[in-house]
Structure 1
Amino acid sequence: MQNFAGLFYRYFLSVFSISYSLILLGWSQDISSVEGIRESPLQNRESPLQNPESPLQNREFGYKKGMVVAAHPLASDAGLAMLQKGGNAVDAAVATAFVISVVEPFSAGIGGGGFLLLREANSGDIRALDFRERSPLAATRDMYLDENGQVIPRASLDGHLAVGVPGTVAGLYEVHQKYGQLPWATVVAQAISWANDGFPVGEYFVYSAEQRREVLLKNPAARAIFTKDGEIHAVGDRLVQPDLGKTLQQIAANWQSFYTGEIAQAIADDMAKNGGLITLADLKAYQPIWREPVCGLVLELRVCSMPPPSSGGVHLLQILNIITAKPANDSETIQSWAWQDPKALHLLAGAMQIAYADRSLYLGDPDFVTVPVQEIISPIYGQQRRQEIDLGRARSQTEVKPVDEATLKRLQAGESENTTHLTVVDQDRNVVSLTFTVNGNFGAGVVTPGTGILLNNEMDDFAIAPLVPNLFGLVGDDANAIAPKKTPLSSMTPTIVTKPQEGDRFFMAVGSPGGSTIITTVLQLILNVAVYDQDANGAVSAPRIHHQWLPDKLWIETGTDGGEFDSGTLAALENLGYSLDLRDTWGNANLIIQTKDGFLDGAADPRREGAARGF
């Protein structure tokens, strides 16, 4: 029955996508002559871009001029339209993100925040932008504890007190004003159109809304948008968001209206009336932060990803170092076995346990705590931790410990299943890998009246008390404790991979939503391509595993389009001592690979409704 429903939904989505692509084509013709294209540091063009048609599917291959892959077809279309108008990867990424804010509000939006990795084609430099939400000035360490020191149920998840200061608008404007070519109003325009004209809601939209029905119904503004007289919209219903359209028009005219103007005042007023902490001072003080990406050489690749306050890049590189290390008593590495060999999966799971144990103790906002990044991503440290993994048996959670501080000092000498990711590559091979979020399904379930802005519940990503799990089951300690203006720890892992032996040419960009599973999803996509020689569609479709130390379970993904782990493999893992947790699919990854001859191969995850668009 589920398979039939899935096939029907894909057919249904295709019909609506085709219809709206025709609408989009008409809209594009209206602005096909764009005034005011400006110089950009990314610009390196000899001829204008062309406008060939692109088929509607989750995978694109064989294009050289540009590609966009995002979690919704309408968002991918918006990004492609920017490339076809002479924009670059940044223009396309910003347009795509704004449309996602309209058509996937349950996963990401202007009421949230995120991280971005950018590769400049001219220099080859990779830059990282942190536009993650921050805690309000009035936030305190124990704000979610009662008088007895016990966690107040759901206080960090639902309602106004759960909201962090949003960073999406500031982050998108920051990267656009530095690197974009098209006018700001142009890259926001398609999002305005979809908000005002409406779009057909999809299956996952409905599923997500049903999961948060109670919370959405409690907030009058959210109820008015996301339900019809208290009933969740059905698949195919047109969702029109005029308040959000008006807000986006204000942002297109002046982005600062979100932080100092009418929009900011509306957010602050609603917070004051409903027990939230965000004030005008919080909004005015918000600034995105350019940070140095974390990079490492592994598998003859240069892998660059997001630094703290994301834990993604640190632990992605840590795991890669562990699984490729050759301990003195054992020459086997991840490359020693075939794809999905039980020993390879065992080595992966053991490395994941170690990384998530370290994450619980050491990772936090680097503006508040010292994070031992270089020590954790050191190949020497990876070699040391590899020695702990016994290929003959699994280790329990109690056997896997975070590294002690003395060891780290010696080395100094030598993110729900929601969130969304988008990937863009342009003609010049500028690359954007961008992950942003409102945290849980529909964030805090709070819409600021009159604005259409759905706000995040990002405060739950702090350690609200030592070793108390958050929404995704992740635990933390003092490094990720709440403090004013602090950024909560994240698992978001936007990643760009290059090939140093081939002039450091662009090889792959990848990312995913999925809360605590983001790091391990990105890891497995990189391995599928770099070690197991899979194409983009094969890499993103394949079933995945996940282990995060606590709880002490090895998650096994079932029901994927890329097949399932066979019973012999599962039996072998159980015999090694793993407690298996068979789960439905997770994540919504996408990636773009560049082949040696310069063709782009992109794919959106078949687990959801995303699309690749290229030309």
Structure 2
Amino acid sequence: MAQRKHLLPSIGLLVLCASCSPSEKLDPVSPVEPAPGDAGAEPDGGGNGAGDDLFATLPKITPTATGRGGAAATVDLRGTLAAIEILKKGGNAVDAAVAAASVLGATDPFSCGIGGGGFMLIYLAGEGKVVTIDHRETAPAGLTASAFYENGAPIPFPERVTSGLSVGVPGTVRGWSEALRRYGTLGLGDALKRAIQVAETGFDVDRTFFEQTGRNLQRFRAITSSKALFLGPDGEPWPVGTIFKNPDLARTYRLLAERGEKAFYEGEVAEAIVAAVRNPPVEPGSALTIRPGVIAPADLRDYEARVRPAVTTTYRDYTIHGMGLPSSGGITVALALNLLEGFDPELLTPVEVLHRYLGASRLAFADRDAFLGDPEFVEAPVAGLLSKDYADARRDLIDLFKAPTEAAAPGDPFAFQTDPSPSPGGGQGARGGGAGPNDAGDNETTHITISDAAGNIVSYTCTIETEGGNGVVVPGHGFLLNNELTDFNLPADPSAPHPNAVEPGKRPRSSMSPTIVMKDGKPEIALASPGGSTIITTVLQLLVGSIDLGLPIDEALAAPRISQRNARDGSSDAETAFLSTPEAEGLAALGHVFSDAGTTGGEIGAATALRFHGDGTVTAVAEPVRRHGGSAMVEQAP
């Protein structure tokens, strides 16, 4: 059987069998058999299959495609194909984003799903404006900071990851509904049709799915619902080539299709979520400690998505739109770009450009960690941080001749505030430390980038946090819960102030950085990536590569990556592939020390991007190698 890339993230899927009762469970896996598309049809640029069904014969996977009309790039073939299918049937980019996300959730439930949340950045071509939909998970109303401490110290991070305590109130379903209601042309039921079919009929387990399951093996063996879905009778991951079905997820999606978002936030699904959080389904005799959480029915019923303004800055001749708080991504990227704007790349070598990129990222992360948090709780000095004058004042801290050997201290953006009005909620800003355990770069997520023929664009990052979330599949419903509350900072003293401290109803700070770049009022680039706090540096390096180094978008995306997040010893992370480059040698001569990301898989991020050209064509790009490659397609071949 031909091996295909696994869809990476976004949301869970399920398909119902009309004759099945809610409690009936079909075999999650059937014997190995050919999956649709294994005949290997030749690609046609737009991904057409037999007749009107694009999924009838799956095309070959390609990470780059150029053409006209709409375009889509995701981590995997079926997600991209679902988006193109919607576009070909007259849906817009928002409709296609939800369709793609739901299909990806079925095929890679380990990275994102309806048990999590995300940030959607939307360019509305008809209005010429950018809006964002924040559907980040929230802390339950009954959760206090002290819940994360035992014996006077924070609960160890690995124990927080796999627990009910780490589960934030999921926002994905409400985010999808809000996006479709405000900016889409389809209802939720129509957007979920393909996802339901994929979950119901199944897909072949590929190398990515197999590896992700294997990395969660200890947790899944300890949780009855996860073991039943993701492991075979022998307690091992389903082999590559097995047809994997998720009828429970299909049924859940069917409920959403028929009854809308209310079916998730009230009724049987909500009750199952609450039960799984408060009484995790632990395998009898398991040695794994899985603490219960405190989510209540009211937390789900009262969850709200937020429509917020985008963070906007200029960089050279470009306008950059990103995601605002509670994501730190847009602000941190903008702050680093403001610092870099003081250098002329035409006068610099690639090594000198990268040296400045690392220096700017270090300073930007110092401020991110000190000042940023949920805007409904924290008076973050956003105007000061985005001030060009503030960047001018900080730029001299980038030593042009040698690398740092310690973490940078935060600056004083309050002195540059032009709008001193407090953020809603009236919380207090507070300075924190440098990058710590919560800023590890191994978090799993996914990014979807889509445009339509009318010029609308969606840059959408969604997640369940750690690969596999908190490890708990909601019994009877086929999706994993998030462990997003591990994104909160835990000071040594739970009463110590910090902008990203745990508070009831608060959204933990994120690094997700969906980005849209404009020039002269027209879209140029849309992009982003998964990767925990390395999302920010990946987006920044992609922008530096395409704008300052003049790389075509596919080359910028494929280039080896390095990441500086204000480490305490001044070191940076590097992909294994970067360490053998001339640029690595040049940076080492300046004193840069790199930690080999090969110890955690050798990769940083898994980006997707669109590049819009003056002749009306668009290039869609996905990873050629990272996470075993992604999929890019256009609606019409050139």
State TM-score, norm by structure 1: 0.86
Q: Name the counterpart of 1:333.
A: 344
Q: Distance in 1 between matches of 2:345 and 2:415?
A: 25
Q: Quickly say closer, same or farther: Cα 1:122–1:218, change in 2 above 3 A.
A: same
Q: Distance in 2 between matches of 1:118 and 1:12?
A: 26
Q: Quickly say closer, same or farther: Cα 1:11–1:227, change in 2 above 3 A.
A: closer
For 1:297-376, what aligned pairs fall within 5 Å after superposition?
297-325=314-342, 332-338=343-349, 341-376=350-385
Q: Quickly say closer, same or farther: Cα 1:31–1:356, change in 2 above 3 A.
A: closer
Displacement after TM superposition at 1:150 (Å) = 3.9
Q: Name the counterpart of 1:43.
A: none
Q: Which of 595, 608, 617 is residue 581 of structure 1 equivalent to?
A: 595
Q: Distance in 2 between matches of 1:266 and 1:402?
A: 44
For 1:256-267, what aligned pairs fall within 5 Å after superposition?
256-267=262-273
CA-to-partner distance for each residue in 1:550-576, whole Å, 9 max, x for gaps? 2432122223xxxx4655433332232
**Alignment partner of 1:154: what SS?**
helix
Q: Distance in 2 between matches of 1:96 and 1:168?
A: 13
CA-to-partner distance for each residue in 1:156-178, whole Å, 9 max, x for gaps? 21022211100001001110011
For 1:192-591, what aligned pairs fall within 5 Å after superposition?
192-229=196-233, 230-254=235-259, 255-274=261-280, 275-325=292-342, 332-338=343-349, 341-398=350-407, 400-404=408-412, 407-408=415-416, 416-465=442-491, 478-500=498-520, 504-551=521-568, 552-559=570-577, 564=578, 566=580, 568-583=582-597, 584-591=602-609
Q: Distance in 1 between matches of 2:379 and 2:168?
A: 22
Displacement after TM superposition at 1:28 (Å) = 7.9
Structure 1 gaps of 5+ residues are: 1-7, 33-51, 326-331, 469-475
Displacement after TM superposition at 1:119 (Å) = 0.5
Displacement after TM superposition at 1:123 (Å) = 1.2
Displacement after TM superposition at 1:535 (Å) = 2.1
More helix as a share of residues: 1
Q: Which of 23, 34, 38 is residue 19 of structure 1 equivalent to?
A: 38
Letter in 2 for 1:598: G
**Alignment partner of 1:507: what SS?**
strand
Q: Quickly say closer, same or farther: Cα 1:126–1:599, change in 2 above 3 A.
A: same
Whether the 8 Å contact between 2:37 and 2:59 is mirrored in structure 1 is: no
Q: Quickly say closer, same or farther: Cα 1:581–1:267, change in 2 above 3 A.
A: same
CA-to-partner distance for each residue in 1:349-385, whole Å, 9 max, x for gaps? 1111111111111010000011111211111111111
Q: Distance in 1 between matches of 2:566 and 2:113?
A: 31
Whether the 8 Å contact between 1:535 and 1:601 is mirrored in structure 2 is: no
Q: Which of 619, 623, 633 is residue 601 of structure 1 equivalent to?
A: 619
Whether the 8 Å contact between 2:5 and 2:630 is mirrored in structure 1 is: no
Q: Name the counterpart of 1:40.
A: none
Q: Quickly say closer, same or farther: Cα 1:305–1:589, change in 2 above 3 A.
A: same
Q: Quickly say closer, same or farther: Cα 1:132–1:20, change in 2 above 3 A.
A: farther
Q: Distance in 2 between matches of 1:580 and 1:107?
A: 27
Pick which of 585-594 and 519-528 moved more. Answer: 519-528
Whether the 8 Å contact between 1:60 and 1:613 is mirrored in structure 2 is: yes
Displacement after TM superposition at 1:9 (Å) = 5.7
Whether the 8 Å contact between 1:113 and 1:437 is mirrored in structure 2 is: yes
Q: Name the counterpart of 1:4.
A: none
Letter in 1 for 2:555: G
Whether the 8 Å contact between 2:573 and 2:595 is mirrored in structure 1 is: yes
Q: Distance in 1 between matches of 2:354 and 2:36?
A: 38
Letter in 2 for 1:79: A
For 1:144-159, what aligned pairs fall within 5 Å after superposition?
144-159=148-163
**Alignment partner of 2:458: what SS?**
strand
Q: Quickly say closer, same or farther: Cα 1:466–1:393, change in 2 above 3 A.
A: farther
Displacement after TM superposition at 1:72 (Å) = 1.2
Whether the 8 Å contact between 1:67 and 1:426 is mirrored in structure 2 is: yes
Whether the 8 Å contact between 1:298 and 1:320 is mirrored in structure 2 is: yes
Pick which of 387-396 and 402-411 moved more. Answer: 402-411
Letter in 2 for 1:529: S
Whether the 8 Å contact between 1:506 and 1:594 is mirrored in structure 2 is: yes
Q: Name the counterpart of 1:136.
A: 140
Displacement after TM superposition at 1:529 (Å) = 1.9
Whether the 8 Å contact between 2:5 and 2:76 is mirrored in structure 1 is: no
Aligned-residue Cα RMSD (Å) equals: 2.7
Q: Name the counterpart of 1:37.
A: none
Q: Distance in 1 between matches of 2:112 and 2:493?
A: 27
Whether the 8 Å contact between 1:334 and 1:347 is mirrored in structure 2 is: no
State TM-score, norm by structure 2: 0.83
Whether the 8 Å contact between 1:417 and 1:587 is mirrored in structure 2 is: no
Q: Distance in 1 between matches of 2:161 and 2:92?
A: 37
**Alignment partner of 2:137: what SS?**
coil
Q: Quickly say closer, same or farther: Cα 1:250–1:335, change in 2 above 3 A.
A: farther
Q: Distance in 2 between matches of 1:151 and 1:412?
A: 37
Letter in 2 for 1:435: T
CA-to-partner distance for each residue in 1:109-160, whole Å, 9 max, x for gaps? 1100000000001111100110011011111112111132343453321022
Q: Quickly say closer, same or farther: Cα 1:535–1:149, change in 2 above 3 A.
A: same
Q: Name the counterpart of 1:48.
A: none
Pick which of 112-121 and 567-576 moved more. Answer: 567-576
Q: Distance in 2 between matches of 1:112 and 1:182?
A: 22
Displacement after TM superposition at 1:405 (Å) = 5.9
Q: Quickly say closer, same or farther: Cα 1:520–1:205, change in 2 above 3 A.
A: same
Displacement after TM superposition at 1:454 (Å) = 0.6
**Alignment partner of 2:467: what SS?**
coil
Q: Quickly say closer, same or farther: Cα 1:376–1:16, change in 2 above 3 A.
A: farther
Whether the 8 Å contact between 1:146 and 1:152 is mirrored in structure 2 is: no
Q: Quickly say closer, same or farther: Cα 1:192–1:585, change in 2 above 3 A.
A: same
Whether the 8 Å contact between 1:394 and 1:576 is mirrored in structure 2 is: yes
Q: Name the counterpart of 2:17.
A: none
Structure 2 gaps of 5+ residues are: 8-33, 42-46, 281-291, 422-438
Pick which of 144-153 and 514-523 moved more. Answer: 144-153
Letter in 2 for 1:292: P
Displacement after TM superposition at 1:452 (Å) = 0.6
Displacement after TM superposition at 1:310 (Å) = 0.4
Pick which of 192-201 and 303-312 moved more. Answer: 192-201
Letter in 1 for 2:514: P
